[in-house]
């Protein structure tokens, strides 16, 4: 029986370690199973690509270090106390009764208060940074209206006369002021590598800003539960060099390309004669719908279905076949298109560069 009081504790520790290892393995193995076709790389707030996100990451790192130190110290003291002062088989009497230590009580009251005050000051400084960009570093600014829909994002460039969707295209090194709102429910705009979360409300405008240091695609997610396809309402920010952005602006301001081949021309007729024209807009045509995304230059976008899939012929055909099956809760209905109509529409939409 000697040493038997240690057995339950040892068993509990071994069981806890086994459960943690099994949980980690299940999560790692489940990633491929839950991945969807065209799923973009998972963004990380710890890999900032702009001054806004860098300020958030810096604050997070400080909080993480302090929390880690506190955790190690507290858990270490608990383990030391549990093992050093545990009841042994030879102990038959009551342990020595002691009272509180005044100095220790003062210390563990003052130290946490100092930590809280320090974090409060740092958080306040970070909030001030996020509230207003430093125009001395990046004096040039532009404005984009970001409008949330179930389940996609609309982007309006009021100074450029451009309306687009899915891809938010911005120039590098330039402050982009975002005016966020919603047409239906509450959404939340979040691109971890560029900014924190900002809610988009119906009948109200929230303000935030982003700035990308280097060209590339930065992915995000609606961070507010907004319906059946909340998880499929993604954000794609495409940062271009100033020269590439200027060319993109010229391309977007130009009219839609006229279909060149016969299949695309047939698709244009299917589009203009069907239900598509009632929900979507294509500049310079009779299509002037406001329910769905503007499709004037849809062929030049990187993704489809609110950022859910990469913009490929196969994914576009899959989307047109049955949108609600691909994206639950999608407002775009199943139009029961024939295979010939889907092929023609796919050719036409891909020609809209």
The token pair at 113 is 């208060």
How far are the Cα atoms of 67, 69, 105, 177, 296 from residue 73, in angstroms, in the given order?
Answer: 10, 6, 16, 43, 60
**Facing residues of 146 across strands?**
155, 180
Distance between CA atoms of residues 10 and 4, nearest Å: 10
Same fold, 36-88+102-254 and 262-351: yes
Handedness of CA 101, 102, 105, 106 (dihedral sign): negative
pLDDT value, residue 7? 62
Close Cβ partners of 267 (under 8 Å, ≥ 6 residues apart): 259, 343, 344, 345, 346, 347, 348, 349
How far are the Cα atoms of 49, 128, 178, 191, 350 from residue 134, in angstroms, in the given order?
Answer: 16, 10, 15, 20, 40
Architecture per CATH, domain 36-88+102-254, reads as: Sandwich (2.60)
* Residue 243 or 90, more confident: 243
Per-residue pLDDT of 286-340, as tens digits, reads 888 888 899 999 989 999 888 888 999 999 999 999 999 989 988 888 988 899 9
Q: Does domain 262-351 have CATH number 3.40.50.300?
A: no
Choose among 72, 234, 51: nearest CA to 130: 51
Residue extents of the structural domains in the chain: 1-30, 36-88+102-254, 262-351
pLDDT value, residue 140? 79
Out of 60-64, 86-90, 150-154, 169-173, which region has the weakest mean confidence (pLDDT)? 86-90
**Facing residues of 310 across strands?**
303
Close Cβ partners of 199 (under 8 Å, ≥ 6 residues apart): 180, 186, 187, 188, 189, 206, 224
Helix (H) or strand (E) holding 279: helix 276-279
Could you tell me if 306 and 232 are in contact, meaning their C-beta atoms sit under 8 angstroms apart?
yes
Task: Give the N- to C-terminal CA distance of the chain in Å, as an integer.
Answer: 81
pLDDT value, residue 35? 43
Question: How confident is the prediction for the chain on average, in pLDDT?
Answer: 86
Choose among 311, 335, 303: nearest CA to 321: 335
Distance between CA atoms of residues 304 and 254, nearest Å: 21
pLDDT value, residue 69? 93
**Facing residues of 294 across strands?**
281
Instruction: Tell the residue number behind the tokens 């990451």, with chain if given.
Output: 57
Choose among 276, 283, 280: nearest CA to 256: 283
């Amino acid at each position: 029986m000697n040493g038997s009081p240690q057995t339950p504790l040892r068993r509990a520790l071994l069981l806890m370690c086994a459960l943690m290892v099994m949980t980690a393995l299940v999560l790692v193995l489940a990633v491929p199973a839950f991945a969807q076709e065209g799923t973009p790389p998972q963004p990380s707030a710890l890999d900032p690509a702009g001054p806004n996100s860098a300020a958030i990451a810096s604050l997070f790192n400080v909080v993480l270090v302090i929390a880690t130190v506190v955790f190690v110290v507290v858990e270490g003291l608990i383990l030391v106390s549990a093992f050093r002062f545990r009841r042994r088989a030879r102990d038959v009497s009551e342990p020595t009764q002691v009272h509180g230590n005044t100095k220790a009580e003062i210390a563990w009251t003052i130290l946490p208060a100092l930590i809280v005050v320090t974090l409060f000051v740092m958080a306040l400084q970070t909030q001030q940074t996020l509230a207003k960009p430093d125009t001395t570093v990046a004096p040039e600014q532009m404005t984009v209206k970001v409008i949330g829909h179930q389940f996609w994002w609309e982007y309006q460039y009021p100074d450029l006369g451009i309306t687009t969707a899915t891809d938010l295209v911005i120039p590098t090194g330039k402050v982009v002021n975002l005016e966020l709102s919603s047409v239906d429910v509450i959404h939340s705009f979040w691109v971890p590598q560029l900014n924190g979360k900002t809610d988009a409300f119906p009948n109200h405008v929230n303000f935030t800003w982003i700035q990308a240091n280097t060209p590339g695609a930065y992915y995000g997610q609606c961070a507010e539960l907004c319906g059946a396809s909340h998880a499929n309402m993604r954000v794609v920010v495409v940062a271009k060099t100033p020269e590439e952005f200027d060319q993109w602006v010229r391309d977007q301001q130009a009219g839609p390309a006229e279909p060149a081949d016969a299949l695309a021309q047939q698709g244009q007729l299917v589009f203009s004669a069907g239900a598509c024209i009632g929900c979507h807009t294509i500049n310079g045509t009779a299509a002037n719908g406001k329910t769905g995304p503007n499709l004037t230059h849809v062929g030049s976008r990187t993704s489809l279905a609110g950022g859910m899939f990469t913009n490929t012929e196969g994914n576009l055909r899959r989307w047109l076949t049955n949108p609600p099956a691909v994206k639950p809760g999608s407002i775009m209905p199943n139009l029961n298109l024939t295979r010939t109509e889907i092929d023609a529409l796919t050719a036409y939409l891909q020609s809209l560069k």
